[in-house]
Chain A
């Protein structure tokens, strides 16, 4: 853990400008993928509209800053608030929808938002893009990287706090069996809406950060293909573990750039990876790696490592025999 932290902090000094920018984007995708994993994998609400909130947060902040001269931090906060409100709205209207219907509705919502942004191009700049004031004016991306890191760590901390609290239990209960959760006294309505509101806020935060980093916003950030990329990141990493999803995002983002010369083949590759992971390693590659790693460890060490590997996980890894540490409950 400490090694990872040290690496993360020293990163800008270790790489050139190109890879640093990749690192910034990796921070962005990590927040988005982790929050999606929280909503879909952990709380069981398979929403494909997550990128719509990234888009919403980005455009809200961008438009406020460009049109009204609002200072960027306020713009970003406004973006987060907007996403919290709209997210709650979506959570509310989707209350009676489950599984595929929820997925369908959120995809439709996402596309409608994208179409509105494209159509109202006088306001939003449409497909041509909206120029947005960058956060930092300097020659290096290092400030962006550190800000992204801070946002990622803060987001992760909040999400992990959430999942280890009783709210985490309620989310999982709702995911496992909504009727039983209700019979057990869990206020299902409240928590489903909360799940949407909270995760959408994180998406909006990431969106605001993205907008003020890239400097030009296009509707594509809210496209279904972007959603697919995020889904791939989360699932390949491990959709039910926030940490795994985050790592999946980081890994894939770097992979995306490493394979830059292959151009369009990358999305094909990730699509294929996503499908293969779903088919053969449903809990994600990280979980698979942990299992293999655990299996080759000498016996006394196994439980220790296994315990750590479940940080932020929604399930206890089934093949392991019951240990004293048990599942994700603290």
Chain B
């Protein structure tokens, strides 16, 4: 089966620094992939390219078989690629519900009543229903993370890129998030999750990809990657 999204020889440079170099990554529909690596390994840059926020300096991106690199983030969103950010990016002075309505109404042929209903359903699922009328900036950090996930869900995404969803999150919320992702995955959504919390990822994902200094150094099952010498070396800072 052809991959849902595929990065071919992806490269990105910032000034003199090579952030990502020759990345080859294919994700198939229905997978749950973890993306890990020491700081500065290029994980977020890779995600930014795969969601349209950055244009690659070299290489191609294929989404459902068609060339997608160089297109804008809103186009990727329209193609049902969702993402969350390392530092939550919400519409601070808009209410929780409005935050959900924006992506919903941005989709073509969407109707306010139906979108509102869907939004409320997702908010219910995330446990944020009671906060509907609060301004996003008044939510706690954890609630904000959940809201950002909800906003991505409004795109009815086929694939979701989560950038450090477990960062700075207490254990209860972490378990909550794992549960939510499992449920969504069972519903048929594909996930690529970047994080430093390897323990949480190990509980969740089937496949682990490891990056170091811009390159992919390992790609396999959780068990395989755990034993991989190169991975251990990369994390040890050698």
Is chain B in direct contact with chain A in the complex (CB below 8 A)? yes
Please tell me which stretch of A123-131, A250-258, A322-330 contacts chain B, meaning at least 4 of its Cβ atoms lie within 8 angstroms of it.
A322-330
Q: Are A183 and B95 in contact (CB under 8 A)?
A: no
Q: Are A182 and B102 in contact (CB under 8 A)?
A: no
Chain A residue with minimal CB distance to B110? Answer: A166
A37 CB to closest chain B CB (Å) equals 16
Within 8 A of A (CB), among B82-118: 82-83, 85, 89-95, 97-98, 101-103, 105-107, 112
Please tell me which stretch of B73-81, B120-128, B210-218 contacts chain A, meaning at least 4 of its Cβ atoms lie within 8 angstroms of it.
B73-81
For B95, give its contact among A186, A188, A316 (CB under 8 Å): A316
Q: Which residues of A contact B154 (CB under 8 A)?
A: 184
User: Are A176 and B77 CB-contacts (below 8 A) given A184-B106, A327-B133?
Assistant: no
Q: Are B74 and A185 in contact (CB under 8 A)?
A: yes
Q: Which residues of A contact B82 (CB under 8 A)?
A: 183
Q: Are A180 and B94 in contact (CB under 8 A)?
A: no
Q: Are A322 and B106 in contact (CB under 8 A)?
A: no
Q: Are B97 and A177 in contact (CB under 8 A)?
A: no
Q: Are A180 and B97 in contact (CB under 8 A)?
A: no
Q: Which residues of A contact B77 (CB under 8 A)?
A: 182-185
A241 CB to closest chain B CB (Å) equals 13
A319 CB to closest chain B CB (Å) equals 11
Q: Which residues of A contact B102 (CB under 8 A)?
A: 169-170, 173, 181, 184, 186
Q: Are A326 and B89 in contact (CB under 8 A)?
A: no
Chain A residue with minimal CB distance to B88? Answer: A180
Report if A187 contacts B (CB, 8 A). yes
User: Are A183 and B51 CB-contacts (below 8 A) given A166-B105, A169-B98, A172-B94?
Assistant: yes
User: Are A326 and B95 CB-contacts (below 8 A) given A183-B51, A183-B83, A185-B155?
Assistant: yes
Q: Are B92 and A322 in contact (CB under 8 A)?
A: no
Q: In the docked arrangement, what's the CA distance between A172 and B101, Å? A: 12
Q: Given A173-B94, A184-B103, 12 more contacts at CB 8 Å?
A: A169-B101, A169-B105, A172-B91, A172-B98, A173-B91, A173-B102, A182-B52, A183-B73, A184-B77, A189-B72, A326-B133, A329-B95
Report if A120 contacts B (CB, 8 A). no
Q: Which residues of A contact B31 (CB under 8 A)?
A: none
Report if B219 contacts A (CB, 8 A). no
Q: In the docked arrangement, what's the CA distance between A180 and B102, Å? A: 10
A96 CB to closest chain B CB (Å) equals 13
Q: In the docked arrangement, what's the CA distance between A254 and B59, Å? A: 63
Report if B202 contacts A (CB, 8 A). no
Chain B residue with minimal CB distance to A172? Answer: B94
Contact with A along B117-159 (1 / 0, CB 8 A): 0000000000000001111001000000000000110110000
Chain B residue with minimal CB distance to A190? Answer: B74
Q: Are B151 and A184 in contact (CB under 8 A)?
A: yes
Q: In the docked arrangement, what's the CA distance between A166 and B101, Å? A: 9
Within 8 A of B (CB), among A168-212: 169-170, 172-173, 176-177, 179-189
A92 CB to closest chain B CB (Å) equals 15
Q: Are B133 and A180 in contact (CB under 8 A)?
A: no
Q: Which residues of B contact A322 (CB under 8 A)?
A: 133-134
Q: In the docked arrangement, what's the CA distance between A169 and B107, Å? A: 13
Report if B29 contacts A (CB, 8 A). no
Q: In the docked arrangement, what's the CA distance between A170 and B72, Å? A: 16
Q: Are B133 and A323 in contact (CB under 8 A)?
A: yes
Q: Which residues of B contact A264 (CB under 8 A)?
A: none
Q: In the docked arrangement, what's the CA distance between A282 and B24, Å? A: 51
Q: Are A185 and B97 in contact (CB under 8 A)?
A: no
Report if A226 contacts B (CB, 8 A). no
Q: Which residues of A contact B98 (CB under 8 A)?
A: 169, 172, 327, 329
Q: Are A182 and B101 in contact (CB under 8 A)?
A: no
Interface centre among A172, A176, A187 (most CB of B within 10 A): A176
Q: Which residues of B contact A180 (CB under 8 A)?
A: 85, 89-91, 151
Report if B53 contacts A (CB, 8 A). yes
User: Are A327 and B95 CB-contacts (below 8 A) given A179-B89, A185-B155, A187-B74?
Assistant: yes
Q: In the docked arrangement, what's the CA distance between A182 and B76, Å? A: 9
Q: Are B94 and A327 in contact (CB under 8 A)?
A: yes
Chain A residue with minimal CB distance to B107? Answer: A185
Chain A residue with minimal CB distance to B83? Answer: A183
Q: Which residues of B contact A181 (CB under 8 A)?
A: 74, 91, 102
